[in-house]
Every structure is written in structure tokens, then in C-alpha cells.
Amino acid sequence: MESHPSDPILLVKSLSKSFGGIKALDEVQFTLHRGEVHVLMGENGAGKSTLMKILMGLETADLGEITFAGEPWASRDVRDSLAKGISMIHQELQVVPELPVAENIFLGRESTRWLPGWLDDPGIYQKTNNLLTDLGMTLDAHAKMKYLSVAEMQMVEIAKAISHDAKIIIMDEPTSALSDKEVSTLFGIIKDLKSKGVAIIYISHKMDEIAQIADTVTVLRDGKYVGTKPASELDQNALITMMVGRTIESLFPETTGQKGEVVLSVKNLGIPGKFQDISFDLSAGEVLGLAGLMGAGRTEVARAIFGLDSLAEGTVFIKKKKVTIRSPEEAIRHGVGYVSEDRKGWGCIPGMSVQHTLSLSSLRDHLRGSLINGKSEHTAANRMVNDLHIKTASLSQSVLQLSGGNQQKVLIGKTLLAKPEIIIFDEPTRGIDIGAKHEIYKLIRQLTAGGIAILLISSELPEILGLCDRVVVLSQGRQTALLSREEMSQEKIMQHAVHS
């Protein structure tokens, strides 16, 4: 292992933590130096977030020792960690929807005046505006969080973490909801922090990011420490091998290329204020990409086709038949399936078991009389678990206890069980580890091979380029291009995506 000139600011030795039966962390070690960007990698459920939560004082370790700035470190609570100079961007958005941006950023450390406890809001709004301009973010400090886009909320979270002037900043998948534009802003900020000697722990599943910013990489697997290497010594394949313990030959399986006849075609779709004049055809066995910047309106288009939002203009044809879809119920009946970008908000149902989630959209297939036929439901669910290689303790396990990747697979399984002919994937690999990604790509190929038509929304261009036969590019709710596989290229898509 290489040695930095400076001695470590953070030293973690044989740290262990388990939740009930689950060993989230098992004898993990970790070393962090000043001015270092230390990337922490590992499959979903490897224990990355848990380790960070322990540093933050949100969880307490069972065993092990931590040294921070030379002194033994046992955070009593978050307030303590923040005070001592550790701040964190959480994997799950930690925002108070009803409060404005500024009040979210300074939540817990409001400045007061005149009387004890008396708020000095002009003060924090001033500070916020300065902060946002420093970070080059264009956000209204007065806007309530609940009216921001996911991306905007994420930027606020970043600003919040930075604003603590911490010695260590933990970033747990900060870019999972960001598009390249914001990502580059973030990377700019990170470089700047580095130069100030701030140490950064960076967690991500996006390979391409590692090369850009990482100094050092540490890998966890199944809660165990695998190793630490300077980024320079790691190419993508080496890294993948460290993470999943095997090599993944080619990330994107080859397309079979053959298409059936058009199953979905939309003409001049529009919802005022969201998008307009969206027209495209989708053929059986084809993967049609829907690319664009964050907030371009891709999800809106998907939601409208699936009947979650009601269309204002335009017509939808399924198998050449004009249809009006007023609700997901009808969409599913027409053979359309949708896997949302927002697993937590629009996918998983707290407390529901894997089996019940899987069968939720297709329960009617398992009726004996008016009662549910548990046996056939069980077999169907079981089939999905095997087909999609869903890693779960049992069918009765609660979905929310699965790792991100497996949650996503369950939700895909739910959609598949409804036997759709058209599936809309909205950011299907957001926050998902490389192994699971690969499996989902393979799955998409299988589906198209089986004659299913797929509309793929993704902010990761490699994904679009690797999977799509054609791609529709949106920019600010307008359709700016429809590129064939030959025309497709990173540059071309970006150029159309920013064009307005």
C-alpha cells in the first residue's frame, strides 16, 4: 500500500456492525488522508453507507476503533460529528420538503440574534446566496424544497454538506440523480476542496467517475474489506474484479438487431409546461432510447404514456390502434409496463414482502374463485426470483431490506409478471452496482429477443449508446433529435440535449 506524505486524518481499524442477523460490516479497515479523494466502492449491500453512517454517528459500531485527527473517535451523535468537522451527503435525499432551500441548508445550525433561540433568517438567506454563488449553483434560496426537481434537491444537499467547512466530507452516491452538467459542477467543487486540504470520501457505482476524480480506491464486498489501491494502478476491469470477484467480459451484450412491426407510436404528445410535440415509433424487439439532461421531461413523457399524468395534446397508438390511457390500470391492460426512476417513491411498498410486490400488478392471474391462489402466486414469484437472479433471503422478506440492485430487479419482475409488450425503463440502473447493471442489460437484451419493445430513459450516455437501436433526444421538453444507431455518438446526443 502506498504512503502519503501526510499522516492519515481518519483511521478505521477492524470495524464490525450487524443488523439483527445481517453482518453489514465485518472487520473493515479504512485510511483517509488530507486533501485526498478516496473512493469507496462495492456492490449494493456491501456496507458502504453503513460505514459512513457510523463515522457520522447515525449508527454505532459493534466492534473496532476509529482514529480521527490523531485522537480516538466515537461520535455520540450527528451534531457531535458535524462540530468536529465531518459532514455527509446522504445516499437518500435528507430534505424537509416544506422548508425553503436556505432553511434546509442551515437546518440545525440556524444563526440567532437578539434573544436566545431567536432566528436570524435574513442572515442565513444572505449566507445561502453567497454559498450558492460560490458553488456556481443557480437556485432560489426562497423556493420550498418540495417544488424542486430531484436533481435540484441533490445540489442543495451538496451545498449543505460543503457549507459546514468540514475537514472530511462524505459523499454517498451524490451523482446518482445528477446529469453531466451538474456532475461537472460537483467535480469542480471537489477539486477546489482538495486544494484546501479537505479529505473526501466518495461513494459511487459509476465507473467513469472514478478515473476522473479518485486518488485512492477502497473496495468492500459483503461487508468485508477487499483492498485499497491508488486509482492510477486500477483499470476498470481490475476494479470490477475486485468488486464482484469475477470479470465481466463485455458490459453491454450485443444487439440481435431484428425488429418486429411497430407496437407503440405517439404523435405530438404534450402537457403544457412539461413537454410538447413528442412523436416517435417503437417496434417490437427494439430498444428506443430517451436521452436528455436532467429535467428535460423524459420522466414526464413516460408518466403520461403510462397514464400517471393525463395528456393534454397528442395521440397514442398501440399496435396501430388509437388508445386513450387514463390510468396505469388501463396502461397495463394495453400491455404497457413502467419501471419508475424513483424506487422509493413510486416502486417499493414498505412492509410488503418480495412475493407480494412481485405479484402486485398481476394478481388477477392468480385468482381461484374470488380468493387468491397462494400456490400459483408463489410459483410465479419464485420463477421471477430465479430468472432475474434476485438475491433474497426468502419470498417473505420485506423488499425494503434488499439491496438497491435487488429492489430494482423485484420491481422489474413485478412489471414483467403483468406480461407487457412494451416496457418503459426510467433510469433502470440508477444507484445500482456494476454487477447488477450488467444483469439488467442482459435482461433487456433477453426481453427484446423475446419480441418486447423497450423505451429506455437514461442519463448515462454509455448505457444509451450500448443498448439502444435508436434514440430520441429531449431538451427542455422539446424533441430535438431522433438518431439511428449509426448516427448515435456521445457528442451528437449532448449537442442535441443542450440545444434549445
Partner 1 sequence: MIKTQSPLLARANRIRSLGIFGILFAFVVICASLALTTPRFLTVPNLTIILTQVSINALLAFGVTFVIITGGIDLSLGSMVAVTGVAAALFAHPDTYPLVVPLLVALAAGLAMGGFNGLVITKSKVPPFIVTLGTMTIGRGLALILSKGRPVSNLSDGFNFIGGGQVFGIPFPIIILVVVFGLCSLLLKKTIWGRYMYAVGGNEQAARASGISVAKIKMLVYTLCGALAALAGIVLTSRITTGQPNAGQGFELDAIAAAIIGGTSTSGGSGTMTGTLIGALLIGVISNGLDLLNVTSYYQEVVMGVIIIGAVVLDGLNRKR
Evaluate whether 434 touches 207 at the Cβ level (below 8 Å). Answer: yes
DSSP string, 234-282: --HHHHHHHHHSS--S-SSPPP-----SEEEEEEEEEETTTEEEEEEEE
The set of residues, in sequence order, having a beta carbon less than 8 Å from that of 406 and lying 6+ positions away, is: 44, 45, 390, 391, 392, 436
Task: Please identify which residue in the block is written with the cell numbers 408518466.
Answer: 303
The x, y and z cell numbers of residue 286, run together, are: 427494439
Query: In the complex, what is the shortest distance from the CB of residue 387 to ligand ATP, in angstroms, rounded to a whole number?
Result: 22
The x, y and z cell numbers of residue 380, run together, are: 410465479
| Secondary structure (3-state) at 183 | helix
Angstrom distance (rounded) from CA 369 to CA 381 = 20
The x, y and z cell numbers of residue 391, run together, are: 438475491
For residue 341, state whether it binds Mg ion (rule: CB under 5 A): yes
For residue 393, state whether it binds partner 1 (rule: CB under 8 A): yes
Evaluate whether 25 touches 17 at the Cβ level (below 8 Å). Answer: yes
Among 283, 459, 475, 480, binds ligand ATP (CB under 6 A): 459
The total of other beta-carbon atoms located within 10 Å of residue 70's CB is 10
Q: Which of ligand ATP, partner 1, Mg ion, none sits in contact with 82, Cβ below 5 to 8 A by type? A: partner 1
Using CB under 8 A as the binding rule, the residues of this chain from 209 to 238 that contact partner 1 are 221-222
Burial 27-44 (b: 16+ CB within 10 A, else e): ebebbbbbbbbbbbbbbb
Angstrom distance (rounded) from CA 479 to CA 274 = 12
CB nearer partner 1, residue 129 or residue 213: 129
CB nearer ligand ATP, residue 24 or residue 266: 24
Using CB under 8 A as the binding rule, the residues of this chain from 357 to 376 that contact partner 1 are 360-361, 363-364, 367, 370-372
Contact segment (CB under 6 A) with ligand ATP among 98-106, 181-189, 210-218, 338-346 equals: 338-346
Contact segment (CB under 6 A) with ligand ATP among 72-80, 102-110, 288-296, 486-494 equals: 288-296
Query: In the complex, what is the shortest distance from the CB of residue 276 to ligand ATP, in angstroms, rounded to a whole number?
Result: 14
Angstrom distance (rounded) from CA 63 to CA 42 = 21
Q: What's the first-to-final CA gap in the chain, in angstroms?
A: 49
Among 48, 414, 430, 470, binds partner 1 (CB under 8 A): 414
Q: Which of Mg ion, partner 1, ligand ATP, none sits in contact with 96, Cβ below 5 to 8 A by type? A: partner 1
Count of residues binding partner 1 (CB under 8 A)? 87
Among 100, 297, 347, 420, binds ligand ATP (CB under 6 A): 297
Using CB under 8 A as the binding rule, the residues of this chain from 89 to 118 that contact partner 1 are 90, 92, 94-100, 103, 107-110, 112, 117-118
Closest CA to 59 of 74, 41, 70: 74
Q: Which of partner 1, ligand ATP, Mg ion, none sits in contact with 117, Cβ below 5 to 8 A by type? A: partner 1
Contact segment (CB under 6 A) with ligand ATP among 189-197, 295-303, 315-323, 376-384 equals: 295-303
CB nearer Mg ion, residue 111 or residue 398: 398
Among 149, 268, 310, 446, binds ligand ATP (CB under 6 A): 149
Query: In the complex, what is the shortest distance from the CB of residue 86 to Mg ion, in angstroms, rounded to a whole number?
Result: 17
Query: In the complex, what is the shortest distance from the CB of residue 172 to Mg ion, in angstroms, rounded to a whole number?
Result: 6
For residue 175, state whether it binds Mg ion (rule: CB under 5 A): no
The x, y and z cell numbers of residue 248, run together, are: 465481466
CB nearer Mg ion, residue 91 or residue 218: 91
Angstrom distance (rounded) from CA 213 to CA 174 = 13
Q: Which of Mg ion, partner 1, ligand ATP, none sits in contact with 264, Cβ below 5 to 8 A by type? A: none
Angstrom distance (rounded) from CA 396 to CA 444 = 27
Using CB under 5 A as the binding rule, the residues of this chain from 49 to 108 that contact Mg ion are 49, 91
The set of residues, in sequence order, having a beta carbon less than 8 Å from that of 141 and lying 6+ positions away, is: 100, 101, 102, 125, 128, 129, 132
The total of other beta-carbon atoms located within 10 Å of residue 273's CB is 10
Which residues contribute to the site for ligand ATP (CB under 6 A)? 19, 22, 24, 42, 44-50, 91, 149-150, 292, 294-300, 341-342, 346, 401, 403-404, 427, 459
Interaction site with Mg ion (CB under 5 A): 49, 91, 299, 341
